[in-house]
Amino acid sequence: METTDLHGWPEPVVPVQILSNSSMQTVPQQYMKPPSERPDMGIISGINDPNLRIPVIDLDGFDDIPEHRQVVLAAVGDACRNWGFFHVVNHGVDIDSVKRMRGAWREFFDLPMEEKKVYANSPATYEGYGSRLGVEKGAILDWNDYYFLNLLPSDAKNLEKWPRLPCNLREATEKYSCELVNLCEVVLKAISSSLGLADDYLHRAFGGSDGISACMRVNYYPKCPQPDVTLGLSSHSDPGGITLLLVDDHVKGTQVRKGNTWVTVQPIPGSFVVNVGDQIQILSNGAYKSVEHRAVANSGADRLTIAFFCNPRGDLPMAPPPQLVGPESPAVYGKPGISFNEYRKYVRTKGASGRAQVQALSLANN
């Protein structure tokens, strides 16, 4: 059986920012998606049908006002069942912390290429500066560069991988990540309760305070000469627990699949976009959906987004609790046995690839 080498990329990695700055008129062949995967550019700049907007949930008073708590739980349950995505507003994250975070990472991507390449990553951990996912040779690539960092547990954090420039980046990232951990706790609590479980069920299922893992990916999408033939990030569902995405307030590009339609997420300044990952779908016995999403490229402007991932401890197998499995809700997935570390090897080998992995675990497909 052929093994995959996770210690090196199968081909030389060329940062997309270099291609973008070269004034080329067409994207290289390895970035051209099959026609069936190419975006409809006509709907990206327009406004979606009002009935096709991801829900907006106001968290103000969630822990303090019982009446509002019930409204939030109903909205979270509905969003997780029908969309797999929702905005959160009045979430408690300091707006100045968000501004500093955005500014510091924009400065990083504006640094000379040689300074960024010092932090070049490898498939072994993905930590650092990169321009591709997956180690399959000859894969069609996405039009983006990124920076990936492990944050939790504390022994996974490697400060040598944190850029030293700009000088405020480390402090900004540390403060921001602490605030996002707190927001993840609130969202996990809301999802747990909306499923009829104890407030802390998902927190404990993910490994508890000493076990939950967190990581972050800062996505930089340079200008693209042909956004109609490529993608900033291919369609995929997130393999982990939940994702908090800070979108670009000025340039749209995140799209969510709703049935057979791709819905462009409309930025709401001051909000975060929450999306359900594969592990929540498994833990909810399929009641809550991890949904395909993607990023489109843009010819007129670059775009920066920050994805914060809250995931189970790497060695824990995921399975729904007994109270979510019964005659009226038969088991969707088989016996537990695959840990999160094993689960995410799929995306680290093949890159972003739809929902093939979580679908493969379904009993209906076995």
CATH number at residue 47: 2.60.120.330
Boundaries of domain holding 66: 23-361
Per-residue pLDDT of 226-252, as tens digits, reads: 999 999 999 999 989 999 999 999 999
pLDDT of residue 246: 98
Reported confidence tier of residue 264, pLDDT bands at 50, 70, 90: very high
Q: Is residue 343 part of a domain?
A: yes
Look up the pTM and report it: 0.92
Distances from the Cα of 99 to the Cα of 94, 122, 213, angstroms: 9, 29, 25
Q: Is residue 217 part of a domain?
A: yes
pLDDT above 80 (res 6): no
Q: Is residue 85 part of a domain?
A: yes
Count up the domains in the chain and report the number: 1
Per-residue pLDDT of 310-355, as tens digits, reads: 999 988 888 899 999 988 888 887 655 577 777 776 655 555 554 5
Q: What is the mean pLDDT of residues 352-361?
A: 53
The set of residues, in sequence order, having a beta carbon less than 8 Å from that of 216 and lying 6+ positions away, is 148, 149, 151, 173, 177, 306, 307, 308, 309
Per-residue pLDDT of 93-125, as tens digits, reads: 999 999 999 999 999 999 999 999 999 999 888
Q: Is residue 196 part of a domain?
A: yes
pLDDT above 60 (res 92): yes
Mean pLDDT of the chain: 89
Q: Is residue 250 part of a domain?
A: yes
Instruction: Report percent pLDDT > 90 for the chain.
Output: 71
Per-residue pLDDT of 120-144, as tens digits, reads: 999 888 899 999 987 788 889 999 9
Q: Is residue 15 part of a domain?
A: no
Q: Is residue 148 part of a domain?
A: yes
Q: Is residue 6 part of a domain?
A: no
pLDDT above 60 (res 43): no
